[in-house]
Amino acid sequence: MVKLKAASASPSPFAHRHLLGIDGLSREDVYRVLDLAAQYIDKNRQPDKKHPILKGRTMINLFFEDSTRTRTSFELAGKRLGADVINMSVSSSSVKKGETLIDTAMTLNAMHPDFIAVRHPESGAPHLLARKVNCSVINAGDGCHEHPTQALLDALTIQRHKGKIEGLTIAICGDILHSRVARSNMKLLTLLGAKVRIIAPATLMPASPQSFGVEPYYDMRKGLKDCDVVMTLRIKTEYMQSSFVPSAREYFHFWGLDREKMSYAKKDAIILDPGPIIRGLQIDSDLADDIARSMILDQVEMGVAVRQAVLELLAGEGK
């Protein structure tokens, strides 16, 4: 087996047992993940994608919400590293009979997993779980709170296309209020020295945007002016009790990314979206499919590599 090079940005150990959010990560930690993930991108493009450093370890994917990208990429990441991966189907588990998150976690813990990747609609659920189990817990998205591996894969995508993150102007547009992706990205991208703008209608803007060190805009054209990176977000209707926008048509008119609005960003600006993309609502189909500008599928590729890097570092293999 060929050993991948040790991540080079910092000689210090990756001193984290869990990945619950961006808080607590240093710039060195982040570059450690990104450097290691970059090596996995190359490995994943080869016919033999296996690098079985986690042979004998067990990973459980515990998803209380739907997912395509995150769950599949955690599964691929674990399997390519040689771990045994269990995808627990919550819809056919004893959760449906009333078992609590804590009892579910303690039950799974008794089977001695090494990693649990958890997605849950309640903010803070992975933190609660981490206090009850002996293994590493990875937050795969908790309510409107955080989605740290998504922000890391977004950072890797930006770094690969722009050569850096520090000094870039990055606009995050859409339903900021309900977005765990926006929260993790605001923390991570400002930590790495980017100037972050958030663009949203007043109803979808968080209460104190300045507390994240970002600049709020209520007009797409002003917010997009001279940006290097534009990130669009889905409207998270599953977290809304009532409608936050007048109509889909009006939303797209004012807040949907199309070529006319995109013309305010820099000529070489790139587009990111964590997905799923709702065509004709947060982004025009034509732009989403423009391979010169849209990095949406690159983000998916980066997702596997970043999750491999996170698993390796949490397992202590990257020390």
Express the helix, strand and coil content of the chain in percent, nearest 5 each: 40, 15, 45
Pick the closest to residue 221 from 271, 296, 171, 165 (CA basis): 171
Q: Judge whether 155 and 180 are in contact, CB under 8 Å.
A: no
Q: Closest CB to ligand CP among 256 and 274?
A: 274
150 forms part of the interface with ligand CP (CB under 6 A): yes
141 counts as binding ligand CP under rule CB under 6 A: yes
**With the C-alpha atoms ordered 231, 232, 234, 240, is the resulting torsion angle positive or negative?**
positive
CA distance 242 to 145: 20
Minimum distance of ligand CP from residue 67's CB (angstroms): 3
Contact call for residue 274 and ligand CP (CB under 6 A): yes
Alpha-carbon gap, residue 238 to 236, rounded angstroms: 5
Residue 141: partners with Cβ closer than 8 Å, 6 or more residues away = 65, 67, 70, 119, 120, 147, 150, 180
Q: Which is nearer to ligand CP, 51 or 147 (CB)?
A: 147
Compute the least distance from the CB of residue 232 to ligand CP, in Å: 12
- Based on CB atoms, which residue is closest to ligand CP, 51 or 236? 236
Considering only 70, 136, 157, 179, the residue that binds ligand CP (CB under 6 A) is 70
Residue 314's φ and ψ, nearest 5 degrees, are -65, -30
Work out which of 69, 79, 162, 266 binds ligand CP, going by CB under 6 A: 69
Count the residues of the shown chain that bind ligand CP, applying the rule CB under 6 A. Answer: 9
For position 68 contacting ligand CP by CB under 6 A, the verdict is yes
In the bound state with ligand CP, the residue whose beta carbon lies nearer, of 7 and 85, is 85
Site for ligand CP in 106-135 (CB under 6 A): none
Comparing CB distances to ligand CP, the nearer of 113 and 274 is 274
Which residue, 169 or 299, is less far from ligand CP as judged by CB?
299
- Is residue 105 within a helix (H) or strand (E), and if so which, with residue range? helix 101-109
Residues engaged in binding ligand CP (CB under 6 A): 67-70, 141, 150, 274-276
